[in-house]
Structure 1
Amino acid sequence: MSDAPKPGGIDRNGLRPRFWKTVPMAKLTRPEWEALCDGCGKCCLNKLEDEDTGEVALTRVACRLLDNETCLCAKYPIRHKFVPECIVLTPKTIQDNMYWLPQTCAYRLVAEGRDLYPWHPLLTGDPDSPHAAGVTMRGQTLSEVEVNDDDWENNIIEEPT
């Protein structure tokens, strides 16, 4: 079956062509909003914030719900039952949360008026393209249930870009 847009400019997944370049974030449909996620898993990493500078450091310590192989939330639709503090990213909350989003995050890129990276699934048509590009956390995380809070500092990493 073809992914070509149907008449009217909507593809079979309910996405308008290059919507991230042509549609304001506040006007994106739910499927378009969700399609921006590249599945890198970096937003689900626990972060450490320096109280003095506000600098945010990534750790390889991930939310207990992150699947280390798929880099996706294992309980996404019901994640708040398990992780009530999980941040819901929306067009309204993006500006307040930009400081901790990964540099390669499509939500951040679009909010900043930048284009997606060439490996993004919306450009390649392949959900595994971020893994192939080496920009995901596949196989690199430790579950927060296995790491003592005091040891997070020992697990600070550079963001794969």
Structure 2
Amino acid sequence: MTAAPKRPSDQDGFFWKTKKMEDMSPAEWESLCDGCGRCCLNKLEDEDTGEIYFTDVSCKLLDSCTAGCKSYANRFDSVPDCVVMTPESVRDLKWLPPSCGYKLVAEGRDLYWWHPLVSGDPNTVHEAGVSVRGRVAGTEVEIPDEELEHYLVQWPGQLPKRARLKRRPKD
């Protein structure tokens, strides 16, 4: 049985479709981040099954209004275990949300219409309902680890309906 032929994409000429992740410049690599902030939410892992559960509790450095890091360049000074996105880690991390630009590129898929590289607008990630903006219950400083199980949510592992559309909805 032969694989189905790959359908052409309107993104075929862009760097994320033409370069291996390992060959991208640091600026290209960083631009794959859509700025949703979902990876900055605390997660719990079931020790028996390995299943990952998202919470709506964020890293202490996440600005929940912008969904950005308050100190990205110096984040390791305050959060030494902050996960560095590399081609290797992106391929291995099972908890990356389905909307993650790094994950999509690793899988050879197109970026969604709301990704800033496609839309040209960093606000479309918020318009599409993908970002954590307005959805964070508190930070890990405010909510102790032993209470995280009370903050379990499913939305970070799901793609909102309007984000699944092929293009930006008309207002």
Q: TM-score range by the shorter chain?
A: 0.7 to 0.9
Identity score, percent: 53
Q: Which one of the candidate residues 114, 121, 143 is aligned to 2:116?
A: 121
Within 2, Cα distance between the matches of 1:94 and 1:41? 15
Within 2, Cα distance between the matches of 1:134 and 1:92? 28
Deviation string, structure 1 residues 14-43 (Cα, Å, up to 9, x no partner) = xxx611111110001111111111110000
Secondary structure, counterpart of 2:88 in structure 1 = coil
Within 1, Cα distance between the matches of 2:83 and 2:130? 22
Tell me the residue number matched to 2:90. Answer: 94
Tell me the residue number matched to 2:67. Answer: 71
The 5 A counterparts of 1:1-161 are: 18-97=14-93, 99-141=94-136, 142-158=138-154, 159=156, 160-161=158-159
Please identify runs of 4+ aligned residues in structure 1 that moved more than 4 A.
none
In structure 1, runs of 5+ residues without a counterpart are 1-16
User: How far did residue 93 of structure 1 move?
Assistant: 2.4
User: How far did residue 96 of structure 1 move?
Assistant: 2.4
In the alignment, residue 121 of structure 2 is paired with which amino acid? D
In structure 2, runs of 5+ residues without a counterpart are 1-12, 160-171
Q: Supply the RMSD in Å over aligned alpha carbons.
A: 1.1
